C-alpha cells in the first residue's frame, strides 16, 4: 500500500545534495520553449507539487523559468515523483486550458522508456486492464506505526477505469527488457501497474513489484512528447535524455546511447 505523501528518497542521479534545484540547473533542463508552453526534463526524485509531507517540489522553482514581469508557467499535467523526463508547462491561461483539453482527448502523444524485470512473451502488445484506486482506512491513533494516516494502492480490477497501454520490446539482457510504452489513457501509476500485471515489474519499483523496495530508483522515463496546440501554431516535439540512474540497465539491454 502507498502512503498519501509518496516520499521516496531521491535517486543518486537527479538532484543536488540539498534536494533542490538552482535557477541555472532548472533552465538547463528546458527541452522546448515557445510563447505558449515549455517542456522540461523533470529530474527523478522531485515531486511536481506539494502533497502530504512533501515540502520540496517543482512548483517552488517554476519562477526561475519566467521572463521578467511574467507569471511563472504552470503544470499542464503530472509525472510521478520517481519518473524522469518530459513534463509540459503552460505559459498562459489559454495554453493551460487547451493542453488540458488535449490531454483529455488523447491528442498529446506520449512515449515512455522503461527497464523491466522479466521479458514480455510477445515483442509487441496491448495491455488492456481497467485500474481501480483502493483507499485503505486510517489506523486508530496509538495502535500501530503510521496510525492516523490512510493509504492507497492501484489495482487491476474490472470495476476500475479503462486503462490501455501499448508496448514494444526494444532490447533485452540479463533477464530484463527495455520497453517503449505508449499509454492511450492517463491513469495514476498506469504503466507501473500494467507492467507488473504482465509479470514485468519495472526495475526499482517500490510498490508493485514482487517485494517491497526503497523508493528512489525507478527505471521509468517520459522519453518524448509531441502535440500541436492549434493549426496556426507549429507542432511541438521534445525528447528527454536517459537519466544517469537508468543508463547501465539500458546499455545491458542493447541501448547504445542517445
CB 155 within 8 A of CB 131: yes
DSSP string spanning 109-159? EEEEEEEEES--SSSEEEEE--EEEEEEPPPPTTTSTTTT--EEEEEE-TT
Q: Assign 22 to helix, strand or coil.
A: coil
Q: How far apart are the C-alpha atoms of 73 and 67, rounded to whole Å? A: 10
CB 141 within 8 A of CB 150: no
Q: How far apart are the C-alpha atoms of 142 and 233, rounded to whole Å? A: 58
Query: Rounded to 5 degrees, what angle do the CA atoms 47, 72, 104 make?
Result: 65
CB 80 within 8 A of CB 189: yes
> Catalytic site residues?
80
Amino acid at each position: 500500500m502507498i502512503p498519501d505523501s509518496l516520499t521516496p528518497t531521491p535517486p543518486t542521479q537527479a538532484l543536488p545534495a540539498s534536494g533542490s534545484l538552482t535557477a541555472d540547473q532548472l533552465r538547463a533542463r528546458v527541452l522546448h520553449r515557445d510563447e505558449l508552453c515549455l517542456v522540461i526534463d523533470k529530474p527523478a526524485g522531485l515531486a511536481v507539487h506539494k502533497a502530504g509531507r512533501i515540502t520540496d517540489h517543482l512548483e517552488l522553482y517554476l519562477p526561475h523559468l519566467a521572463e521578467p514581469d511574467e507569471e511563472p508557467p504552470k503544470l499542464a499535467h503530472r509525472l510521478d515523483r520517481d519518473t524522469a523526463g518530459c513534463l509540459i508547462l503552460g505559459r498562459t491561461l489559454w495554453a493551460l486550458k487547451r493542453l488540458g483539453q488535449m490531454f483529455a482527448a488523447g491528442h498529446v502523444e506520449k512515449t515512455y522508456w522503461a527497464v523491466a524485470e522479466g521479458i514480455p512473451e510477445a515483442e509487441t502488445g496491448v495491455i488492456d486492464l481497467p485500474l481501480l484506486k483502493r483507499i485503505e482506512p486510517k489506523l486508530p491513533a496509538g495502535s500501530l506505526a503510521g496510525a492516523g494516516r490512510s493509504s492507497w494502492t492501484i489495482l487491476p480490477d474490472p470495476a476500475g477505469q479503462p486503462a490501455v497501454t501499448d508496448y514494444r520490446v526494444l532490447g533485452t539482457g540479463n533477464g530484463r527488457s527495455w520497453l517503449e510504452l505508449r499509454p492511450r489513457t492517463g491513469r495514476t501509476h498506469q504503466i507501473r501497474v500494467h507492467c507488473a500485471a504482465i509479470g514485468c515489474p519495472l526495475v526499482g519499483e517500490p510498490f508493485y513489484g514482487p517485494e517491497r523496495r526503497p523508493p528512489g530508483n525507478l527505471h521509468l522515463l517520459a522519453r518524448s512528447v509531441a502535440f500541436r496546440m492549434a493549426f496556426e501554431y507549429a507542432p511541438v516535439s521534445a525528447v528527454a535524455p536517459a537519466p544517469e540512474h537508468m543508463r547501465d540497465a539500458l546499455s545491458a539491454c542493447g541501448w547504445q546511447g542517445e
